[in-house]
Structure 1
Amino acid sequence: MGLGVPSSGIRLDLRDGFNNSIIGIGTSSQTAAEAQAGAIKYDPGFQGLYLSDGTVWNKLSAHVIRTYVIGDIISATQSFANNTSTVIQNWREQEDLLGSFNPTTGVFTAPRDGTYTMAVIATLSSSPVSANSFMQLELVSPSAIVKSQSSYYGAGTFQASVLCSGSFNLLSGQTLQAVLTHTLGGTKNLRTGYCNLSILEN
């Protein structure tokens, strides 16, 4: 069938040479299975076209601003008790293109389905460190946890530090956060200017 095309060699042809010879693709709340394989939809929020394979919606093209978060600690207002897991909070945002990170709570919320890489370095202020102790960072999502640990076999007074990074497959609305645990002895504080966070959508 040719719409405005006298002779067409394909089943549907709109190429009549006029400025309105285009196809408009609409939005849909159907699942890929409901729409069935071969269906196409447009998502205005992410400015993307999606093709159903009968199971999932596959992105065809998009003009998407990717998540990019950068933060650091400039005020050591949070304390970390010995042998207690605590979410690192009170970050200073230097960059957050989509507003997906809450610096006060330290919780990142995925704006859409995708893979997100998070890297955090935490450094404590110089203080006594117990022998045979550790400092541990966990990057926690609903479906996975990545851990990294620095161990200290001898006692001393210094700045303990640990770095952790990992990639996470998140659904829209799922969260990601950095959790600090230590057995260094006593209550510790982060050293300002030596703690950084980054989150990048792959």
Structure 2
Amino acid sequence: MRKETRKTLILPFCFLINIFNAQVGIGTNNPQGALHIDGAKDNPASGTITPAQISNDVIVNKTTGFIGAGVLNPQVQLDMRSAGSENSLGLGTTTMSAVTAGAGATRYDVTSTPVGAKIEVSDGVAWNKAYIAPQKAVVVIRKISSQSIPSASATTIINWNEVRDMSNSFDPSSGEFTAPRDGTYTFLLTFNFSGAVISDGSRVESQFYNPATSTVLASVYKTFGQSMTGTSDDANSTRSTQAGGSSTVTLTLTAGTKVSVRLYQNLTTGSIPLRVTSNASDPANPDDGFNNLTIIEH
């Protein structure tokens, strides 16, 4: 009778176990947690692991059981705040009801109408869209570089000094504001000219202008009586007068609409410079702060 011999095949483990510390290392013999997977297999055999090396690892903290994806000491149950550049969480859609998924469940809803795909969170009863408020446009600019406004010609104010633009929607060089979204916007302009001998019945017109369509969207007039112009009524004397004022308009704009500010003046027969500071770094300068524009999205 033939006796059958059996052989046992022993396969090597693809991970290392640190028995003393009860730690398991996959791809590394220097585990830093209860379970440590070195995705890129770039960790040193011993000693300190750098943030760049940790960034491609997955670690289960041996004390808390928290999982760190690229994080050596996770502070929450799942911590992905690593030194790597791929710190994002990928979510998919699900057909589970909010009741089945349970309160706190999160999904990416790709079929949502009419607003398009959105992140949704279950409250245990219904899926609710996570609303992220857009950064509203708030622009504050002032004029500190010289510019003359010619007579009887609407002129765009350019080369503004930008103090604040929270939505990056204003071009200081061209003086053009671009509406970031459909909405309502308020424009507040203050202006002041250098001194000039003003003609009787003259005016300054503030125009809020769309340069793309060559359309005046709104305008505000300010009229002026004559200054001392040297006539017999003025005792044959002349006196320079500074013309200035403010204009406020509210416009309903569609996304992408451009608006720039223009000034028209017929105060004299020649150009008049705007009154701007000669020292922009000195807020106490008497010529500072006369020509400003503020734009606010509601």
Shift of 1:63: 2.2
CA deviations 1:74-124 (Å, max 9, x no partner) are 111x21111001111111000001211111111100111111111111100
- Tell me if the contact between 2:186 and 2:248 (Cα under 8 Å) persists in the aligned partners: yes
The structure-2 alpha-carbon separation of the partners of 1:149 and 1:16, relative to structure 1 and needing over 3 Å to count, comes to closer
CA deviations 1:142-169 (Å, max 9, x no partner) are 6762222221122342110121111111
Q: Is 1:155 matched up with 2:227? A: yes
- Tell me if the contact between 1:25 and 1:40 (Cα under 8 Å) persists in the aligned partners: no
Q: TM-score, normalised by structure 2?
A: 0.51
Question: SS of the counterpart of 1:61?
Answer: coil
The structure-2 alpha-carbon separation of the partners of 1:39 and 1:74, relative to structure 1 and needing over 3 Å to count, comes to closer
The structure-2 alpha-carbon separation of the partners of 1:40 and 1:121, relative to structure 1 and needing over 3 Å to count, comes to closer
> Within 1, Cα distance between the matches of 2:103 and 2:154?
65
> Within 2, Cα distance between the matches of 1:73 and 1:42?
43
Q: Is 1:190 matched up with 2:265? A: no
Shift of 1:23: 3.1
The structure-2 alpha-carbon separation of the partners of 1:3 and 1:197, relative to structure 1 and needing over 3 Å to count, comes to closer
1:30 corresponds in structure 2 to none
1:96 corresponds in structure 2 to 165
Q: 124, 128, 138: which is aligned to 2:207?
A: 138
Q: Is 1:26 matched up with 2:26? A: no
2:40 corresponds in structure 1 to none
- Tell me if the contact between 1:137 and 1:162 (Cα under 8 Å) persists in the aligned partners: no
> What stretches of structure 1 of length at least 5 have no aligned partner?
5-11, 28-34, 48-58
1:8 corresponds in structure 2 to none
1:199 corresponds in structure 2 to 295
Question: SS of the counterpart of 1:15?
Answer: helix
Q: TM-score, normalised by structure 1?
A: 0.73
What are the within-5 Å matches in structure 2 for residues 13-92 of structure 1?
Answer: 13-17=98-102, 21-26=105-110, 39-42=114-117, 61-76=131-146, 78-92=147-161
RMSD between aligned alpha carbons?
2.8
> Within 2, Cα distance between the matches of 1:71 and 1:63?
24
Report the residue type matching 2:102 in the other structure.
G
- Tell me if the contact between 1:125 and 1:159 (Cα under 8 Å) persists in the aligned partners: yes
Q: 106, 112, 116: which is aligned to 2:185?
A: 116
Instruction: Count the aligned residue pairs.
Output: 169
- Tell me if the contact between 1:124 and 1:161 (Cα under 8 Å) persists in the aligned partners: yes
Higher relative strand content: 1
Question: SS of the counterpart of 1:128?
Answer: coil
CA deviations 1:113-139 (Å, max 9, x no partner) are 111111111100112211221111112
The structure-2 alpha-carbon separation of the partners of 1:168 and 1:14, relative to structure 1 and needing over 3 Å to count, comes to same
The structure-2 alpha-carbon separation of the partners of 1:80 and 1:23, relative to structure 1 and needing over 3 Å to count, comes to same
Shift of 1:72: 0.6
- Tell me if the contact between 2:175 and 2:261 (Cα under 8 Å) persists in the aligned partners: yes
Counting aligned pairs with the same residue, the percent is 26
Between structure 1 and structure 2, the one with the greater Rg is: 2
> Within 2, Cα distance between the matches of 1:73 and 1:198?
12
1:181 corresponds in structure 2 to 264
Report the residue type matching 1:16 in the other structure.
A
Task: Work out which structure has the larger RCO, using CA pairs closer than 8 Å and 6 or more positions apart in sequence.
Answer: 1
